[in-house]
Amino acid sequence: MTVKNAFYAQSGGVTAVINATACGLIQEARRHPERIGTVFAGRDGIIGALTEDLIDTRLETDVDIARLRHTPSGAFGSCRYKLKSIEQHRVQYERLIEVFKAHEIGYFFYNGGNDSMDTAWKVSQIAEKMGYPLTCVGVPKTIDNDLPLTDCCPGFGSVAKYVATSVREAGFDVASMARTSTKVFVLEVMGRHAGWITAACGLASESAGEPPHILLFPEVPFDPERFLARVDECVRQYGYCVVAVSEGLSDASGKLIAESASKDAFGHAQLGGVGQMVAQLVKDKLGHKYHWALADYLQRSARHIASGVDLEQAYALGVAAVRFALAGKNAVMPIVRRLADAPYRWEIGEAALSQVANVERKMPPEFISADGFHITAACRAYLQPLIEGEEPPPFRNGLPDYVRLKNVAVAKKLPVFVV
């Protein structure tokens, strides 16, 4: 068998478990020295390939590669850099092939979301056109949970577990203080286009009256009057109200609430974010004291409370990517296929990149309750397994002990290329 090198890159927003995918992929590659030589990792994602900045992962010890499994973020660097169409960016695609050729790379693994799967697909096409033998495998990753065909996306389950845990904990806090202090608490979470993360907050509420009481989805146009009425009802009934709101909350015209602030609508010229805006609206109209929290990057980097299922899937997809490549599968992406909800059973499946690229999976309408403020039983059945299991990282000096790799690049062989 011919030995070829591999190229692996992380793309887009990082997650608590994308390094677990890298771990699975590199460990599996190391088990096949007869087929795979060096796994090169792109420094800062695909930019590393374009600039020939190729990290030699052979220089990382087995122990350090194993530690990737419990380290959040992108160990080799990731980037927000989308290759456009082959027509527009032909020179970049050709450069990729040149770099691959120069370093005898026969396997291309691209670990990302929708855009990255599109890029991986295009790279497979250009390689074919240029007659360069390259096996391209996309590896799913995105907290947005919006890739099609796969049951879920690695990274999402851990964000889901983090936000549901956080909103439950804050809910206990608010409940115990509401009589004389904060009555309304708002947690703003990620998910600009789809309400998956907002929906996950709903898992914290296991019976009527348990917080969060209101979820504000990007899929449901924000109606201030109805929202205020529901908040009022909760405060009367439970003494307090906990709200989870998507950063992507929009009005009926599709305009982001976070961008629509004006003196007319809210009485304030500028506010911090949609979380504060809806909280301030409550204060202005109902007079309740509020607090709000903005989880921001904390939610996607919180490896300390990662989902065991998410972690296991992230790792397994990295392993599967190598197995697919070694089996000669090209322009594919390993996926998670659900076999049963409870107890949850899943297996690795396969999807064609052509079917994945640029297809965004939306949250099904039947996952949102009739009043638009919570999740349905169907949604709960889907989400529940994804947050199961705890696999905390090792701790040292009271803090999670994460690995920083050496990240040494191999010598360049080609002229400089400016991205």
Phi–psi pair at 334, nearest 5 degrees: -70, 145
- Answer yes or no whether residue 300 interacts with its own copies by CB under 8 A: yes
- Shortest distance (Å) from residue 41 CB to its own copies: 12
The one segment of 1-9, 141-149, 202-210, 315-323 that binds its own copies by CB under 8 A: 202-210
> Mutual orientation of helices 18-30 and 308-326 as an angle, nearest 10°?
40
| Pairwise CA distance, residues 222 & 216, whole Å | 8
Nearer to its own copies, 50 or 326 (CB): 50
Nearer to its own copies, 184 or 356 (CB): 184
Instruction: Rule CB under 8 A: choose which of 169, 223, 233, 284 binds its own copies.
Output: 169
Q: Which two tokens stand for residue 142?
A: 């995105």
Instruction: Rule CB under 8 A: choose which of 6, 14, 137, 199 binds its own copies.
Output: 14
Instruction: Rule CB under 8 A: choose which of 134, 203, 325, 336 binds its own copies.
Output: 203
Nearer to its own copies, 51 or 135 (CB): 51
| Pairwise CA distance, residues 9 & 342, whole Å | 34
Contact status, residue 70 vs residue 391, Cβ threshold 8 Å: yes
HEC states along 202-256? Answer: HHHCCCCCCCCCEEECCCCCCCHHHHHHHHHHHHHHHCCEEEEEECCCECCCCCE
- Shortest distance (Å) from residue 104 CB to its own copies: 26
Number of residues that make up the chain: 419
Identity of the residue numbered 47? I
Nearer to its own copies, 37 or 273 (CB): 273
* Interface of this chain with its own copies, residues 366 to 405, rule: CB under 8 A: 384, 387-390, 392, 395, 397-400, 402
Instruction: Rule CB under 8 A: choose which of 170, 197, 257, 278 binds its own copies.
Output: 170
Assess whether the previous peptide bond of 212 is cis (omega < 30° from 0): yes
CA 187 to chain CA centroid, nearest Å: 18
Nearer to its own copies, 43 or 103 (CB): 43
Could you list the active site residues? 144
The one segment of 120-128, 249-257, 268-276, 327-335 that binds its own copies by CB under 8 A: 268-276
Nearer to its own copies, 72 or 106 (CB): 72
- Count H helices and E strands in the chain, helices first: 14, 13
Here's the x/- map for its own copies, 175-194, by CB under 8 A: it reads as xxx-xxxx--x-x-------
CA 205 to chain CA centroid, nearest Å: 23
- Answer yes or no whether residue 304 interacts with its own copies by CB under 8 A: yes
- Answer yes or no whether residue 271 interacts with its own copies by CB under 8 A: yes
- Answer yes or no whether residue 77 interacts with its own copies by CB under 8 A: yes
| Pairwise CA distance, residues 396 & 146, whole Å | 35
Enumerate the β-bridge partners of residue 345. 340
- Answer yes or no whether residue 74 interacts with its own copies by CB under 8 A: yes
HEC states along 318-334? Answer: HHHHHHHHHCCCCCEEE
Instruction: Rule CB under 8 A: choose which of 49, 204, 278, 322 binds its own copies.
Output: 204
* Interface of this chain with its own copies, residues 321 to 340, rule: CB under 8 A: none
Nearer to its own copies, 117 or 187 (CB): 187
- Shortest distance (Å) from residue 51 CB to its own copies: 11
Q: What angle do CA 349, 353, 359 make, to 5 degrees?
A: 100
Here's the x/- map for its own copies, 139-168, by CB under 8 A: it reads as ----------------------x--xxx-x
